[in-house]
Amino acid sequence: MKYKYIKVHWETEELDRYYRKNHYPKKVWKDNEGMPFGIYLIDIGEDDFESIEDAQWFSTEEERDKEFNKLIKEKA
């Protein structure tokens, strides 16, 4: 299997709606407890939610981008 990393955002993924609908506390559904920027590891060729193998979340876009660049370099 081949994998790829992609950058994501809590609201773009509509996770705020999912967690709110499922009665999680506001601190969770609002912005993932202050960590709205994420990286998904997904199967290449798959684009549904089940293809996500791993997720990491960060409080700032800069932190997320730094880790993303590190992961991409390690993969190469």
Q: What is the mean pLDDT of each run of 10 residues along the chain (76 residues)?
A: 88 92 92 94 69 93 97 84
User: 30-36 long-range contacts, Cβ below 8 Å, gap at least 24?
Assistant: 32/57, 34/59, 35/10, 35/59, 36/9, 36/10, 36/11
pLDDT score at 76: 65
**54 is in which domain, residue-wise?**
3-75
Number of compact structural domains in the chain: 1
What does pTM read for this prediction?
0.82
pLDDT score at 74: 87
pLDDT score at 58: 97
